[in-house]
Amino acid sequence: MTGEDAVPGRLRVAVAAPLSAELRAFVRTLEPRVDLVIDHSLLPPMRWPADFAGDPHWRRTPEQQRAYDAAIDSADALYGIPDIDPAALARAVRANPRLRWVHTMAAGGGGQVRAAGLTDEELRRVAFTTSAGVHGRPLAEFAAFGVLAGAKNLPRLHRQQRDRQWSGRWTMGQVSRQTVLVLGLGGIGAAVAASLHALGATVVGTSRRNVEVPGVSTVIHPDRITEVAPTVDAVVNTLPGTDATEHLLGKRFFDALRPGATLVNVGRGTVVDEGALVHALDSGRVGFAALDVFETEPLPADSPLWTHDRVLVSPHTAALDAAEDRRIAELFAANATRLLDGHELLNRVNTVEFY
């Protein structure tokens, strides 16, 4: 396969992540100039929709690995990072000088590209794109669920039900009278803002650019989040994991937060300093946290977040949706058309900050 010559006007794509026959036909219908190279026997079986890592116990034989690498090295573009492994990505970039483009399955694929340790020349030669945006609606629903759960005091309801305690009545929070800070106004953040606005919340968003986003009443620079923290009832993080966002939500922010505020994280776990969060939960500064992502995944068994009665742990599953595979394939096909026609790619990774 490594001897395949490039065909002018066509794009040879090695499928490095599971892609069903139906979706392969879908991609070819959307962009007939794409030639897909795939052998499903060389890919780990999926356990659920969008399970691009596949069965962790599955292994290739040495012969299969050679065939897999040969297919990767024959392509102009990759559908997925090989084995979702930064080291395998680095090998592919260095072994294949004709490689022009790699599409990552994750919305936060920039972190995987950074971990590959590619040189500046390699980062200029190969374009990297992410699947940002395809997860917007599912994550917006989880964010709205988290904000609602905090407003309605889900931990207290759960505790009283468990203890069969019929307490006196109390006034529940109303999202329609709350102010919610949404960190990041990209595809996911914009969808979160729209959902919360539809519930009647006042939405404050963060951006380093001067942007207008439907449903967002005020846009502030991320440097100002501690300044506005005392005025918000809930915080939703949608930011990627970068050097600039690491532990953005730390002790200083939590100390400034309005007591009893809700925290929802659907971005990257590294944005939240989990040690500081535990202290904020213990003190009541954070009244409830709905977390889909964590600093270390899987969440270590000894993490106090597992047993904290004000925390809802979701195992990085909020974005999964039966239609996700199809939406990623559609985005890939659109970018294949752009690449072939010489246009700017959608969701291109910033190779300085890697988001």
Q: Provide the annotated active-site residues.
A: 268, 297, 316
Asked if 85 contacts 113 with a C-beta cutoff of 8 angstroms, the reply is no
CA distance 180 to 272: 17
Amino acid identity at 62: P
Residue 220 phi/psi, 5-degree rounding, is -125, 160
Q: How many CB atoms are closer than 10 A to CB 8? A: 5
Asked if 227 contacts 250 with a C-beta cutoff of 8 angstroms, the reply is no
DSSP string, 258-321: PTTEEEEE-S-GGGB-HHHHHHHHHHTSEEEEEES--SSSSPPTT-TTTT-TTEEE--S-TT--
Asked if 164 contacts 219 with a C-beta cutoff of 8 angstroms, the reply is no
CA distance 334 to 237: 28
Residues with Cβ within 8 Å of 169's Cβ and at least 6 positions away in sequence, in order, are none
CA distance 196 to 189: 11
Would you call 235 helix, strand, or coil by DSSP?
strand
Amino acid identity at 64: Q
Strand 179-183 vs strand 234-237: parallel, antiparallel, or unpaired?
parallel
